[in-house]
Structure 1
Amino acid sequence: MKLAVFSHCTIDEIKINDDLYERPGGPACYCGLAAREMGFDVELVTKFGTDYTFSDQLSQNKIKFQNTPSQKPTTRFRLEINDTDRTLWIKNTCDKIEYTKTNADGILISPVFDEVSLDVLEKIKSDANLVALDPQGFLRRAGPDGMVSFERTNLDLSNIDVLKSDPGEVNNLTGLEGLEGAKLLHKKIDHILYTNKRDVSLFYKNKQYSITLPNMDIFDTSGVGDIFTATYCCTMLKEKDALWALSFAGGAAQAALESKEVGLDKIPPKGATQTNASYFYNIIKFKDV
């Protein structure tokens, strides 16, 4: 099976305490590598410049990408991470992503900062059996110093099967706070993945299914949401079971955080994800919504 990911590869400057790390990143990489661990073929629809040094590793992992070279430098972020909180600055943006027809079983659309236009989004929606959206890149705005904030934005969410959002993103999509906003989105979308730090919920078939990640010392959280979402999509495509998909997604997020690694080094092996998933599957809580 194949997953296509529409998103920029990025270069991330990650500040944790007094240490600064420069790492390749972006949902294209995190989602792509996580999907490969799940046994999927991966096609990236992305853009990066000649300053991006990770393309050989993508090829070595049998991740396909086409028409990626850009004359502009790669999209670059600066992140300051403090436990589960982070502050983000955009330092450069690469070329926008053009529409590309794909024969993938599933599509994951996860822009980081305005690289997917609304027109391209509309065209992608009908190109796969399962279409997932992480809307963060449609909601982000940059201040004069590049600091990233969110802005209330109306998106056409028709023909989206899976939506992954946190409380801030839900509020900027609906105008409602937290779980009430997630419930409203669930009236339009079959699968709502709602992540609030350690608390993770799936809204599916008018029920809210919930798991809680273990309390642990957090080191680098960059990309964990991407790993979570890609694992959910791959499991759903393979197993057609939303509860297994939630369990695997939570298991992958936990394994990534427990690794204490920085950047792409935190992509968990499938064995670690599967062990955690078996635990979560047996403790899922649910209620009607």
Structure 2
Amino acid sequence: MKLALFSHCAIDTITINNQNYEQIGGAACYCGITAREFKFDVELFTKFGPDFPKQYLTDYKINFQNAESEKKTTKFRITIDGSDRTLNLENQCDLIEYDQINADCHLVSPIFHEISDDVFSKIKNDSKFLLVDPQGFLRQIDSKNNVILQKTNLDLSGVNAIKINPEEGKQIVDGTHDEMMLALQKKGIDYVLLTDKINVSLLVKNKIYSITLPNKQVRDTTGIGDIFCSAFCCTMIKENDFLWALCFAGGAAQAALESQNIGLQKIPRKGTIETNASYFYNLLKFRDL
């Protein structure tokens, strides 16, 4: 099975408790490596500069073409405080180029405006199952290059699944958590995922399914949403079961958090994800809307 992934690679300087850790990352890496754990072939559409260790992608057998740029790799400075984090954009690489590809699923997870409207439209036209994490479409920078979110008229036609947090949702639609999920569903999206720290919800038709991640000490939250999205996408394609997909996504996020590792080292192994998924499956809650 094959996942087509659209996102920038990144070089992150992560600050936790006044200690700095320079890590390679970006949704390209977090989503891609997680998909490889699910035994998916990964076709990565990205851009990175000469400062990025492309051998890392090759070692994980992540395929990429036309990815190299003369510009330096997109770079963030990330400050972690518990489950909260702030981002500062230090560099931005070129826009991603589009090539038509036959894949079982497409995952679009920009980190900062690397996907143009035209490329996004072409991806939607070609995809069989498309999951979107809109974070990079919504991000802007202030006068000090701090990343902020801004309202946008994002065309979500042709999208099968979306993952948002409450702050991102408010930039696309209005209302309470339930109202935001319903508003996104009305745009034609079959699976609406809302992650609110430890609380995870999924709207399908007229029901909301939910799981709660155990409330344990959190160290580095970078990439958790990417790991979550990739696990959901891969499980949906393999199992065609949205409840298992929700549980595997939550199980992957929980395993990554419990590892207490920094950066890409937190990406969990498939066995650990499966154990957590079984745990969550027995604790699933649902309610009608």
TM range (shorter): over 0.9
SS of aligned partner of 2:88: strand
Deviation, structure 1 residue 2: 0.4
Deviates more, 1:174-183 or 1:239-248: 174-183
Q: Contact 2:3/2:40 (CA < 8 Å) preserved in 1?
A: yes
1:232-270 deviations in Å (ceiling 9; x for gaps): 000000000000000000000000000000000000000
Matched, 1:250 2:250: yes
SS of aligned partner of 1:102: coil
Deviation, structure 1 residue 11: 0.3
Matched, 1:47 2:47: yes
1:155-174 pair list within 5 angstroms: 155-174=154-173
Q: Contact 1:152/1:175 (CA < 8 Å) preserved in 2?
A: no
Letter in 1 for 2:286: F
Q: Contact 2:66/2:97 (CA < 8 Å) preserved in 1?
A: no
Deviation, structure 1 residue 128: 2.3
Matched, 1:152 2:124: no
Q: Distance in 1 between matches of 2:171 and 2:194?
A: 14
TM-score when normalising by structure 2: 0.98
Deviates more, 1:222-231 or 1:126-135: 126-135
Q: Distance in 2 between matches of 1:116 and 1:257?
A: 29
SS of aligned partner of 1:274: helix
Letter in 1 for 2:13: E
- Structure 2 equivalent of residue 235 of structure 1: 235
1:1-289 pair list within 5 angstroms: 1-53=1-53, 55-188=54-187, 189-289=189-289
1:164-200 deviations in Å (ceiling 9; x for gaps): 1000111000133433211211222100110000000
Q: Distance in 1 between matches of 2:126 and 2:152?
A: 24
Q: Contact 1:254/1:276 (CA < 8 Å) preserved in 2?
A: yes
Q: Distance in 1 between matches of 2:85 and 2:175?
A: 23
Q: Contact 1:193/1:202 (CA < 8 Å) preserved in 2?
A: yes
Q: Distance in 2 between matches of 1:248 and 1:175?
A: 29
Q: Distance in 2 between matches of 1:206 and 1:128?
A: 25
Q: Distance in 2 between matches of 1:63 and 1:101?
A: 17
Q: Percent identity?
A: 56
Q: Distance in 2 between matches of 1:172 and 1:142?
A: 15
Letter in 2 for 1:242: F
SS of aligned partner of 1:125: helix
Q: Distance in 2 between matches of 1:226 and 1:41?
A: 17
- Structure 2: which 5+ runs fail to align? none
Q: Distance in 2 between matches of 1:109 and 1:164?
A: 11
1:110-136 deviations in Å (ceiling 9; x for gaps): 111010011110110022210111111
Q: CA RMSD in A?
A: 0.8
Moved over 3 A (4+): none
TM-score when normalising by structure 1: 0.98
Deviation, structure 1 residue 280: 0.4
- Structure 1: which 5+ runs fail to align? none
Q: Distance in 1 between matches of 2:117 and 2:158?
A: 14
Q: Contact 2:34/2:231 (CA < 8 Å) preserved in 1?
A: yes
Q: Distance in 2 between matches of 1:283 and 1:186?
A: 25
